[in-house]
Structure 1
């Protein structure tokens, strides 16, 4: 990490250079005796609107900033660190060290294994460290950048235009799509099937992108309602892909609906877009932290139940930074206000993540369970059984309490939904895979994984109907 002074100095030089270029561009060509050229803003410079201080002022303020360079993972690997029966406490302590330092990047963990992303320059040091601790590891992803490059063979512009001309939208499930395509698809459904679908923006992200929720209902009276969201962690691309697949299925089979669905496919739109343009493995939102060089809040640590407890950090540079307070972020606040204003009869709260293949129920803040955990366990096992039949791969999903099955994480959305909203069936579902690809799941697995997610929704819907 560069020192703050060096970063500020570089920015000053860049901005000063830009201003000089602007001046030169507008000087009359006859004065400097050369042909006048159109000034083009370099790609590494971004022009942004800054808030106007005066309340009634109509003046638009402009500022310049240097764009973040695109992050690459050349030489980086993903390792799985294993512990033996007598090393569980040791692995837990090592994992805490990883979280405290932020190096290497923690991907996922349970009682016996932890997956970490190791950059090229960190490999010798981490190898020595693990050897000193007598912990074994295996390389799961040999070349992370190669895996990223091969993950999403997207359609050509011509293919996308042909798709839009034929279908009226650009969504399909052989590739991962940008936010524009997802929102465009939702708007298309609302316009084409107004009796079944409606779309509303429940708020805006830090950078001003809408948080679009689609309601799918055939208008049956007293129908139970289910909330479904995806993409709260930006790098988990399979989550919005699976959720949009669910939307497609529900709309195509709307005459059979016996529940109402409120679906937010991308709960972290800024972070999601950032994973396409700058850093494929970005996790948090894009909130700029005051007094810190680091950016972003983990939105799934920012909900207002047991906020700031186990499994969170107060350091803005950590991936599990919980924010400055509960609901400090516009994205989580928008979800809270939506539920406060809604009159829907919510019986389930499903939030899709990746990876690991888990069906998790509260509590996440500590190794405790709610009074009705037996009901959650029973329906969770029914979900796991349905998933095993659905995707064509006999996928095994582990069912259990979040903190016990994986790790403690306070301020999660499912804990908040269960404790504060009193929603019966609150689950976090970690989709494929179990680590071969991790967050970089190739696009060819979208449809089979999405079928598993859909199976989960159908089972929970049946459970809601009996309440």
Structure 2
């Protein structure tokens, strides 16, 4: 019976994936070793038919882009015409994604059969499983864990937060707020948030120092509609799922916050991956994050949002290359995280303001947390690339999230020390 269930679920996975199977899609790494070529790539990226995965400023860092079959010949002619060196790092993304999804679904079944909890760190889990895990922790550790439904997504999914304390009953403590999964395809980010939860709750004795004077509030999936859509229809989907126009769906939730909204680095074109939304806070999911942040005024000391990919620890501002007057506080915390990871695993993280390290993008949650909600430290952590970028293999999950926890723990310690 179990084998029949496995086969049925695997078959369903293949059918779901075929809704947008990425057959024949290629992924390129492009070398742009001077500022002119970097600017040229920024111009090329305005073509929404190309999906630019990243756009690092560093001249020694490659830019990665996904191109569908009908555009590949013209795209390569364009690159050759401007003498842009490139390599094809994935010749058929569809084949790779199908293999990865089958492996993930098989491992989910194994984990669910053998594990005490609804999630593991040997597979990427669905949104319902993630919410079930939070509820299980609240039941198992009622003195230290509270789970609340902060609101509903556009498609009526529960956005649940977990509040973790040390159980001493003291109210009004300072708070570290962490969220993940703003961008749907970045599966490793919710996995990272779940590992933080696991460490704080189920490995409490080793991490009690982080909970002595602080509570943690964690929202592991900000964009559950988009996240589910990447599991069932289109693995590389990025946005929310609320209709944006008569022909296109979704808004880039990390361009939708009402702080310098739409000024730079966001698109007004509803079909674009960086569509800013029809208005600031047009999405129910970003309104929920807004209300959570504003509800922590005076208590919120550290806002951390998990994304992927790129090995970055970024801080405000995202809307300008100028730095906030107290940028050193952000930098000190971020540098502590980078140093801890380097010492532990040798992985190098680049630290700096979002605009100066990557690119200008207004309307982000980190700028809003710092500029409006009053969090003295606000950081975006971009976890490393896996697979072709956004698709780490199941074997990469535990190494990535444990490494991420090393950095988060060090940053939290620095915040607790400072505030």
TM-score, length-scaled by structure 2: 0.89
C-alpha separation in 2, matches of 1:310 and 1:156: 42
C-alpha separation in 2, matches of 1:429 and 1:317: 26
Which of 384, 389, 393 is the matching residue for 1:442? 393
C-alpha separation in 2, matches of 1:158 and 1:447: 17
Aligned to 1:110: 56
C-alpha separation in 1, matches of 2:26 and 2:69: 7
Cα gap change, 1:317/1:69 in structure 2, threshold over 3 Å: closer, same or farther?
farther
Gaps of 5+ in 2: 1-15
Shift of 1:305: 0.5
Equivalence map 1:22-421=2 (5 Å): 70-85=19-34, 88-99=35-46, 101-111=47-57, 112=59, 113-152=62-101, 153-154=103-104, 155=106, 159-163=110-114, 167=116, 169-219=117-167, 221=170, 223-255=173-205, 256=208, 257-258=211-212, 259-290=214-245, 292-342=246-296, 345-390=299-344, 392=345, 394-421=346-373
Shift of 1:157: 7.2
Moved over 6 A (4+): none
Residues 297 and 323, structure 1, Cα contact 8 Å, conserved in 2 = yes
Residues 236 and 354, structure 1, Cα contact 8 Å, conserved in 2 = yes
Residues 360 and 429, structure 1, Cα contact 8 Å, conserved in 2 = yes
Aligned to 1:24: none
Cα gap change, 1:195/1:207 in structure 2, threshold over 3 Å: closer, same or farther?
same
Cα gap change, 1:375/1:338 in structure 2, threshold over 3 Å: closer, same or farther?
closer
Residues 141 and 436, structure 1, Cα contact 8 Å, conserved in 2 = no
Aligned to 2:10: none
C-alpha separation in 2, matches of 1:170 and 1:436: 25
Cα gap change, 1:157/1:409 in structure 2, threshold over 3 Å: closer, same or farther?
closer
C-alpha separation in 1, matches of 2:394 and 2:284: 30
Residues 107 and 117, structure 1, Cα contact 8 Å, conserved in 2 = yes
Shift of 1:160: 4.5
Shift of 1:191: 1.1
Residues 335 and 351, structure 2, Cα contact 8 Å, conserved in 1 = yes
C-alpha separation in 2, matches of 1:162 and 1:132: 55
Shift of 1:114: 1.9
Shift of 1:315: 0.6
C-alpha separation in 2, matches of 1:453 and 1:344: 27
C-alpha separation in 2, matches of 1:320 and 1:175: 28
1:426 maps onto 2:381 in alignment: no
Ranked by relative contact order (alpha carbons within 8 Å, sequence separation 6 or more), the top structure is 2
Cα gap change, 1:103/1:157 in structure 2, threshold over 3 Å: closer, same or farther?
closer
Cα gap change, 1:69/1:156 in structure 2, threshold over 3 Å: closer, same or farther?
closer
Work out which of the two has the higher radius of gyration on C-alpha atoms and give 1 or 2.
Answer: 1
